[in-house]
Copies of this chain bind each other. A is one copy, B any other.
Amino acid sequence: MIIVLKPEATEPEIEHIMDRLQELGLKSHISHGQERTIIGVIGDDRILQNQPLTALPGVESVLAILAPWKLVSREFQKDNTVIDVGGVKIGGKKIVMMAGPCAVERLELTVDIAQEVKAAGGSILRGGAYKPRSSPYSFQGLGREGLDYLLEAKKKTGLPVISEILDTRDIELFLEKADIIQIGARNMQNFELLKEVGAYDKPVLLKRGMSATIKEFLLSAEYIMSRGNRNVMLCERGIRTFETQYRNTLDLAAVPTLKELSHLPVIVDPSHATGKWNLVAPMSRAAVAAGADGLLIEVHSNPECALCDGEESIKPSKFKDLVQDLKKIAEAVGREV
């Protein structure tokens, strides 16, 4: 941590700052430059990042040297984390296709889609039982019953299941019925939920918040890991910008950046990122080319009647074609689908 002093900082102010650092158990080192005096703090930067140092008289600005996360960092673990979900390896050479309906609606439909997803080359079944919807008047999901439908589809197809949790009170249910627990974008900083899923070793897919920086995203993953759960995947799903042409702006530079800063697998969700079915294929291709470890795609047999997000769902036949395309791109970047 570097503390930059105001040009007019007085001696007593400087002493007061040094005292405060000592109280916090830190050593410091003062250096008088041509235009500014700076104080270098020796010791763990991270303690200081929670201290209101700019509230001290005489301080102009504070510059952090270290990233505020530990366990998620590539510095902490050089090798990629590979997560095993019922035999499916996430984070290895093979790029994993997770697909299924936005919301679970009916049992037969769920099983049908699951079978089509499997036949097309998908290896994880996605489906929302509890749905976070902007409006209280929108379909809110089938809840517990939806999870049962997913389990039934899993029995029929062998596909492990990913579904989103919304409430800490549902943790037991998800531990029992889901293979991967999804934390949605709106809950990326629902810290109580992060702590809760952090207490088990059930794999977690953490979506980036709508306006979360890479830094905040990794800190939220750190919340989960710091409670003991090492099976965390990061999911880029578009960020909010001024552009209104698509629902969100897919930030693909996040993929190589997250892979550089962290050892965790990185998944991309092109469906929620764009909100438009005709952008799903080109953005899936781009995500694989950018280095994603997996894709999370909405597939529905009848998008125009889907109870949730039909605009962004693709039909099973299109999904099948897409997987074929992706095989070629994966090969071009030394991976496989």
Tell me which residues across on chain B come within 8 A of A12, comparing CB atoms: none
Cross-chain pairs A/B with CB under 8 angstroms, 25 sampled: A2-B2, A46-B137, A49-B138, A50-B138, A52-B309, A69-B135, A133-B191, A134-B189, A134-B216, A136-B219, A167-B168, A239-B249, A240-B242, A241-B241, A246-B257, A250-B251, A253-B273, A253-B274, A253-B283, A256-B283, A285-B333, A286-B286, A289-B329, A329-B332, A332-B332
A252 in contact (CB, < 8 A): yes
Tell me which residues across on chain B come within 8 A of A285, comparing CB atoms: 289-290, 333
Which residue of B33, B291, B303 is within 8 Å of A42 (Cβ)?
B33
Tell me which residues across on chain B come within 8 A of A45, comparing CB atoms: 35
Q: Of residues 282 to 314 in A, which have CB atoms within 8 Å of B's CB atoms?
A: 282-283, 285-291, 303-311, 313
| Bound: A199/B196 CA distance, A | 24
Tell me which residues across on chain B come within 8 A of A46, comparing CB atoms: 135, 137
Contact mask A221-251 → B, CB, 8 Å, 1/0? 0110011000000000001111111100111
Tell me which residues across on chain B come within 8 A of A290, comparing CB atoms: 282-283, 285-286
Q: Work out how many copies of this chain go into the complex.
A: 4
| Bound: A222/B222 CA distance, A | 33
User: How many residues of chain A are within 8 Å of chain B by beta carbon?
Assistant: 112
Q: Report the minimal beta-carbon distance from A91 to chain B, rounded to whole angstroms.
A: 17
Q: A190-B187, A282-B291, A291-B282 are in contact. Are A52 and B311 (CB under 8 A)?
A: yes
| Bound: A132/B288 CA distance, A | 34
Q: Of residues 148 to 203 in A, which have CB atoms within 8 Å of B's CB atoms?
A: 166-169, 186-187, 189-192
Q: Of residues 36 to 94 in A, which have CB atoms within 8 Å of B's CB atoms?
A: 36, 38, 40, 42-47, 49-56, 63, 65-66, 68-69, 75
Segment of A104-112, A113-121, A206-214 in the binding face? A206-214
Q: Report the minimal beta-carbon distance from A221 to chain B, rounded to whole angstroms.
A: 10
A264 in contact (CB, < 8 A): no
A318 in contact (CB, < 8 A): no
Q: A222-B136, A289-B282, A311-B54 are in contact. Are A214 and B243 (CB under 8 A)?
A: yes
A331 in contact (CB, < 8 A): yes
Tell me which residues across on chain B come within 8 A of A321, comparing CB atoms: none
Which residue of B35, B134, B305, B306 is within 8 Å of A66 (Cβ)?
B35
Tell me which residues across on chain B come within 8 A of A239, comparing CB atoms: 241-243, 249
Which residue of B47, B52, B253 is within 8 Å of A310 (Cβ)?
B52
A277 in contact (CB, < 8 A): yes
In the complex, the answer to whether B253 meets A278 with C-beta atoms within 8 Å is: no
